[in-house]
Amino acid sequence: KKIETIILNSFTDSIPGGNGAGVVLGLDFSNETMLKIAKKAGLSETAFIEQISDSTFKIRYFTPASEVDLCGHATIAAFWYLKDKLNSKNYKLKTKAGVVDINIGNIVTMSQTLPCYSEIIDKEEFWDVLKG
């Protein structure tokens, strides 16, 4: 079976440039197949996207080595590809990292949770940790 993988560059308005991502429509593949597709695409991430209701999508992201919970540039690429086929500007996206709000206008934007910091260390301590 032939599976179409769309290759797009996010965060750019010129070619070459931006961050490359693969986009595959549908989630009806095994984990092994999604991993093989991501390996063949050869990009940092490939997004497998499916619309599950009028306002909600689900994406799974695969690197050439494994599945990851979320990928910003692959999300932007997927919704940029779909934008002309969609009727609304606001969507919910279900990912393994949680639900993300998507807004489609002249550009595609996505919400992100604020980072959580558990501990602040000084520069000397940081290098000591890296050295082991």
Within 88-132, residue ranges assigned H as helices are 123-131
Alpha-carbon span 3 to 62, nearest angstrom: 15
Of 21, 30, 22, nearest to 1 by C-alpha is 30
Which of 45, 50, 67, 124 does the annotation list as catalytic?
45
Residues 8 and 23: their CA atoms lie apart, in Å, by 8
- Active-site residue flag, 45: yes
Task: Give the integer Cα–Cα distance in Å for 109 and 74.
Answer: 12
Structure tokens at 61: 């992201």
Ranges of H-type helices in 1-132: 31-41, 72-82, 123-131
- Catalytic residue numbers? 45
